[in-house]
Chains A and B, each alone.
Chain A
Amino acid sequence: AQSVTQLDSQVPVFEEAPVELRCNYSSSVSVYLFWYVQYPNQGLQLLLKYLSGSTLVKGINGFEAEFNKSQTSFHLRKPSVHISDTAEYFCAVSDWYGEGAQKLVFGQGTRLTINP
């Protein structure tokens, strides 16, 4: 079964500083990777996804991620964070169950806290 590991449970950062949230995946076959964000008391929102092609993926809110096959990583980055980026971030890998169904397997999440 595919899995992802988020290496940091909490990341505190000062406002306007850069940030990197780390994610490693386990699958050795074709892999589809996602980053979702969950703001307090809300559902999950897709930030970006990697399916194939360019290894640098740009998403919403100024986030980007780089797919690195040799290191089995998919780290999320933002060059300058804002208070509003405070949230829980989940890395996920997708698996195929056939008949139009897929399963997202999430990492444990990284709590990003932006301090003024």
Chain B
Amino acid sequence: DTEVTQTPKHLVMGMTNKKSLKCEQHMGHRAMYWYKQKAKKPPELMFVYSYEKLSINESVPSRFSPECPNSSLLNLHLHALQPEDSALYLCASSQDAGQSSGNTIYFGEGSWLTVV
């Protein structure tokens, strides 16, 4: 099973709303990621969690708040977003095999977010 599951698949929210994107994996991976992908662009890294601790924040605005409740779950809390935040949000995971950057990163199907 090499599946990363994301919910919801589509989300429309107003600029004053608070919502969350959820991600789950059962591969025993200890690194989990959030990527943002705008239309016709490559994915851009937002956050990395390693062993349930935030290890990378790519200078993401505070209106995006990640959370890793346990090794299988990753959330992205959204608050006071702007229309330009509309994008595909991809969750991913990889196995920590020690000091290696050659691990395969497995992506979910993504959550399409529209901010109105």
* A and B assemble together: yes
Q: Which residues of A contact B (CB under 8 A)?
A: 32, 34, 36, 42-46, 49, 51, 90, 94-104, 106-109
B43 and A106 within 8 A (CB): yes
Contact assessment for A102 and B31 in the assembled complex, using a CB-CB cutoff below 8 Å: yes
Find out whether the CB atom of B107 lies under 8 angstroms from the CB atom of A45: yes
> For chain B, which range describes its interface: under 10, 10 to 19, 20 to 34, or 35 or more residues?
20 to 34
Q: Top 6 closest A-B pairs, CB basis?
A: A100-B96, A106-B42, A96-B101, A102-B101, A100-B50, A51-B102
A101 and B56 within 8 A (CB): yes
Which residues of chain A come closer than 8 Å to B66, judged between CB atoms? none
Report the minimum CB–CB distance from A82 to chain B (whole Å). Answer: 22
Cross-chain contact B90 with A102 (CB below 8 angstroms): no
Q: Are B42 and A108 in contact (CB under 8 A)?
A: yes
What is the predominant secondary structure among interface residues of chain B facing chain A? loop
- CB <8 Å contact, A103 and B56: yes
The answer to whether B102 touches A44 (Cβ under 8 A) is no
| Closest B residue by C-beta to A97 | B56
Flag if B42 contacts A42 (CB, 8 Å): no
CB of B51 within 8 A of CB of A99, answer: yes
Residues B110 and A42 in contact, CB atoms below 8 Å apart? yes
Cross-chain contact B110 with A96 (CB below 8 angstroms): no
- What 1/0 mask marks residues of chain B from 99 to 113 whose CB sits below 8 Å from any chain A CB? 111111111111000
Tell whether, in the assembled complex, residue B102 and residue A100 are in contact, meaning their CB atoms are under 8 Å apart: no
Report the Cα distance A43→B106, complex, angstroms: 9
If the complex has contacts A32-B101, A49-B102, are A102 and B110 also in contact, measured as CB distance less than 8 A?
no
The answer to whether B105 touches A102, judged by C-beta atoms less than 8 angstroms apart, is yes
A96 to B48, CA, bound (A): 12
Q: What residues of chain A lie closer than 8 Å to B30, measured between beta carbons?
A: 100
